Chain A
Amino acid sequence: MDSDLEEFSQDRRYRPKDVITLSSSTHFSPHEVKRIYRGFKVECPMGVVGEDDFKEIYSRFFPRQSNSSLYAHYVFNTFDVDSADPVITFEEFLKWLSRLCRGTVEEKLRWMFRLYDINNDGRITRGEMTSVFISIYALLGGVTLGMLQDDSVVSTKVDDVFQRMDTNRDGVVTLDEFLDFCSSDQTVLHSLSQLTTVL
């Protein structure tokens, strides 16, 4: 019983660097960094976000019956996490937030590539893309993952997108193919600009 109770006390407490350093290494002003940190600290008093906490926080933005944990898992994997202790520190969080909110189009596209490339081998396969698409459809709720896998809507979409992206028809999408496709596609570029946030 004592060993069970020991697990509750986690000594890990992470303190980030000071505000000025963080602000200068990202696109945020010091004021914004402070506000983001305050919000971060309320949810994660220890200064780091574990995968479960991350999933829980992410699920609050979506309807109750939705299954957001799969997409949250993929998003979590886009961060640079130490595999022995998979948590996101505040600096990591801020770095990626800065790139996604205020970064260049290329930074955002690179992040998208990281998201779809689940196993981090530099190539997106059909299966990986299908998985991510399924997780996105699951975000709204009302369908189970099993239903989505059987459904033909997802697979037709995957075929459609893959076809457009995979220019050399080798069955995988590399980073260059991905960047080329997205940079030239007006819909994608336009949509990217709609997702900026006023902080």
Chain B
Amino acid sequence: MASVAAWLPFARAAAIGWVPIANNPLPAPPIPKDKRRADDEKLVINVSGRRFETWRNTVEKYPDTLLGSNERDFFYDEDTKEYFFDRDPDIFRHILNYYRTGKLHYPKHECLTSYDEELSFFGIIPDVIGDCCYEDYRDRKRENAERLLDDKMSENGEGNLVKLTNLREKMWRAFENPHTSTAALVFYYVTGFFIAVSVLANVVETVECGNLPGKKEPLPCGERYEVVFFCLDTACVMIFTAEYLLRLFAAPDRCKFVRSVMSIIDVVAILPYYIGLGITDNDDVSGAFVTLRVFRVCRIFKFSRHSQGLRILGYTLKSCAKELGFLVFSLAMAIIIFATVMFYAEKKVKGSTFTSIPASFWYTIVTMTTLGYGDMVPSTAMGKLVGGVCSLSGVLVIALPVPVIVSNFSRIYHQSQRTDKRKAQKKARLARIKLAKASSGAAFASKKKASEARLAAQEAGLELDGHKEDDIFEMQHHHLLRCLEKTTNLYHNVENGHEEELREIQIGDLEKSTPTGQHRVHLNAPSGAPLPAEGRQNAGSLATISQLGGGEPSPPAADDNNVTGYMRISTL
């Protein structure tokens, strides 16, 4: 490694100690052919105008990178005797420091993707980033990747709007995204309404309604208007059952759907009703029946389909399971400790409420959460002391995991907000970008027309008066497209019948303009279909040019850069 080249003479000198071991004489040392010492030479690297100077030794430390290998010769400018790179000088500073100090740092204020691009240009792998900056780099990279994944997923989700013809798939999409059609929206609001009604009915039926004639005590509404509530309940359960069955039908993966949380909640919401129907007024099981009615309150969880905030809350709790577990565990420990001490402290007192350790649990819980009902109160001095310590520690223990949960919730909530905002703005952004591209395409088209007019005038022998000399590349670019038009016009007329076959055509016109001889250009698809508009492919064999519509003389808007790129290489 050349990084310690300065110390090599010393290592060689220290090797004298090996001499007594050697039985045979050591091999002869290498002799340099000329005495010129290359490592005293300084390199000048000009990055977009900012000059960096360094020893040649420094950059040759890492021979597998661009600067360390002879790949840098491609960027050498003989006139100014320096290496010129048309890149970002601020980021280059960090790259050069890597050579100097052996540590690559990641500046926090730089965008991750631009930094990555510079690294890949200069042939440095991101794994050599020093420990001081590596964590930060990895976090940002993960964030970026997540965001891209999010975007892509949402794109896929909304991009398939056209293709679904299956009733089942349409229904599923309607269930999952209520905004896709009016029927879905109606369904969404109707189910929401019925959930609310059901929950309200459950609540109201326990309220006292006033006296029936002939009875002493006031009855709860549930018993007074029993039939009304029963009908309401039936209606709600009908709706919920129908909804569940429809979802089950529409689900693409039924097993997965049945195991999902929402479907379990649905089932638990409607099951008590059916079980209640099955049970008669038998006294033995009516107690169980009453218990089952409690499960009706699960209907309130059905609201989580309607509210994103609730979903986020559920997701947060799930992701903070560790902290919550810690909270519960530490609370349990503290409760047991304090209850035990309390019990033994208050044992001797006559008529004490602390009858056993489990009985003291209640006191400890009430004290630690600073509720202080006052139904159990210590009387001894020791007991009061312990009670005081208990309440103080309770505050601490509960306050510790809460910020973690809060910050998690905040992060997830803001993330989902950002995703929604991005989706909303996306359409507008894309429209504006399209507009900008179209205007640049229009500029190109007008330039092309102007140059054609000039060429026509030239051919006709007319005098051209002082006009700005066009860039040779621009002129050749226009010429290329004209050739293509001429060729495809012919092609269009003759080959009308043959669809979807690759044709190899020789663009004869191009032969005249380019000195490198024949070019074979593959044109995919016939006149009507759009060609794939990808650029930047190996220019030697394939040039995909975006579609020229039929016999129109004007070229398309996008992809000028790609075609220009191709042309530049072919005219070398």
Interface residues of A (CB under 8 A from B): 35-36, 38-40, 42-43, 57-58, 60-61, 71, 74-75, 93, 96-97, 100-101, 108, 111-112, 115-116, 132-133, 136, 157, 161, 182, 187-188, 190-192, 194-199
Q: Which of A40, A195, A198 contacts B16 (CB 8 A)?
A: A195
B526 to chain A, nearest CB (A): 61
The answer on a CB contact under 8 Å between B7 and A43 is: yes
User: A191 — which chain B residues lie within 8 A by C-beta?
Assistant: 19, 22, 25-26
Known interface pairs A133-B21, A188-B20; A39-B7 also in contact (CB < 8 Å): yes
- Mark B1-17 against chain A: 1 for CB-CB distance below 8 A, else 0: 10111111111111111
Q: Which of A58, A133, A187 contacts B11 (CB 8 A)?
A: A58
**A187 vs B15: C-alpha distance in the bound complex, in angstroms?**
15
Residue in chain B with minimal CB distance to A40 = B6
**A75 vs B18: C-alpha distance in the bound complex, in angstroms?**
12
User: A43 — which chain B residues lie within 8 A by C-beta?
Assistant: 4, 6-7
Known interface pairs A35-B40, A197-B12; A187-B6 also in contact (CB < 8 Å): no
Q: A61-B4, A101-B13, A194-B28 are in contact. List 5 more A-B contacts (CB 8 A).
A: A112-B17, A116-B17, A190-B26, A191-B22, A195-B12
The answer on a CB contact under 8 Å between B15 and A195 is: yes
DSSP majority for the B interface? Answer: helix
Total chain B interface residues with beta-carbon distance under 8 A: 31
Q: For the complex, is B29 an interface residue (Cβ under 8 Å from A)? A: yes
**A157 vs B20: C-alpha distance in the bound complex, in angstroms?**
10
User: B8 — which chain A residues lie within 8 A by C-beta?
Assistant: 61, 197
**A38 vs B22: C-alpha distance in the bound complex, in angstroms?**
34
The answer on a CB contact under 8 Å between A101 and B9 is: yes
Q: Which of B4, B26, B32 contacts A195 (CB 8 A)?
A: B26
The answer on a CB contact under 8 Å between A36 and B19 is: no
Q: Which of B16, B23, B29 contacts A112 (CB 8 A)?
A: B16
Q: Which of B7, B10, B12, B21 contacts A136 (CB 8 A)?
A: B21
Q: List 13 A-B contacts (CB under 8 A).
A: A36-B6, A38-B6, A42-B6, A74-B17, A93-B10, A100-B16, A116-B17, A182-B20, A187-B23, A188-B20, A190-B25, A195-B19, A197-B13
User: B11 — which chain A residues lie within 8 A by C-beta?
Assistant: 58, 61
**A93 vs B20: C-alpha distance in the bound complex, in angstroms?**
24
The answer on a CB contact under 8 Å between B25 and A97 is: no
Residue in chain A with minimal CB distance to B57 = A39
The answer on a CB contact under 8 Å between A75 and B19 is: no
A69 to chain B, nearest CB (A): 13
User: B497 — which chain A residues lie within 8 A by C-beta?
Assistant: none
Residue in chain B with minimal CB distance to A37 = B6
**A152 vs B391: C-alpha distance in the bound complex, in angstroms?**
74
The answer on a CB contact under 8 Å between B4 and A57 is: yes
User: A188 — which chain B residues lie within 8 A by C-beta?
Assistant: 19-20
**A7 vs B6: C-alpha distance in the bound complex, in angstroms?**
29
B257 to chain A, nearest CB (A): 55
**A71 vs B29: C-alpha distance in the bound complex, in angstroms?**
22
A176 to chain B, nearest CB (A): 16
Q: Which of B16, B20, B40 contacts A108 (CB 8 A)?
A: B16
Q: Which of B29-59 contact A (CB under 8 A)?
A: 29, 31-32, 40
The answer on a CB contact under 8 Å between B25 and A187 is: yes
A155 to chain B, nearest CB (A): 13
User: A101 — which chain B residues lie within 8 A by C-beta?
Assistant: 9, 12-13
Residue in chain B with minimal CB distance to A96 = B13
A24 to chain B, nearest CB (A): 19
**A93 vs B11: C-alpha distance in the bound complex, in angstroms?**
12
A133 to chain B, nearest CB (A): 6
The answer on a CB contact under 8 Å between B13 and A132 is: no
Q: For the complex, is B515 an interface residue (Cβ under 8 Å from A)? A: no
User: A108 — which chain B residues lie within 8 A by C-beta?
Assistant: 16
A23 to chain B, nearest CB (A): 16
User: B25 — which chain A residues lie within 8 A by C-beta?
Assistant: 187, 190-191, 194
**A115 vs B21: C-alpha distance in the bound complex, in angstroms?**
13
The 8 A-B residue pairs whose C-beta atoms are closest, nearest first, are A39-B6, A100-B13, A197-B9, A191-B26, A190-B25, A194-B26, A115-B17, A197-B12
Q: For the complex, is B24 an interface residue (Cβ under 8 Å from A)? A: yes
User: A195 — which chain B residues lie within 8 A by C-beta?
Assistant: 12-13, 15-16, 19, 26, 29
Among B11, B22, B24, B27, find the residue whose CB has the most chain A CB atoms closer than 10 A.
Answer: B11
User: A61 — which chain B residues lie within 8 A by C-beta?
Assistant: 4, 7-8, 11
User: A116 — which chain B residues lie within 8 A by C-beta?
Assistant: 17, 20
The answer on a CB contact under 8 Å between B9 and A199 is: yes
Q: Which of B59-105 contact A (CB under 8 A)?
A: none
The answer on a CB contact under 8 Å between B14 and A100 is: yes
The answer on a CB contact under 8 Å between A192 and B18 is: no
**A184 vs B14: C-alpha distance in the bound complex, in angstroms?**
21
Q: Which of B141-162 contact A (CB under 8 A)?
A: none
A192 to chain B, nearest CB (A): 6
**A96 vs B5: C-alpha distance in the bound complex, in angstroms?**
18
User: A192 — which chain B residues lie within 8 A by C-beta?
Assistant: 16, 19
Residue in chain B with minimal CB distance to A129 = B20
**A101 vs B14: C-alpha distance in the bound complex, in angstroms?**
9
A81 to chain B, nearest CB (A): 15
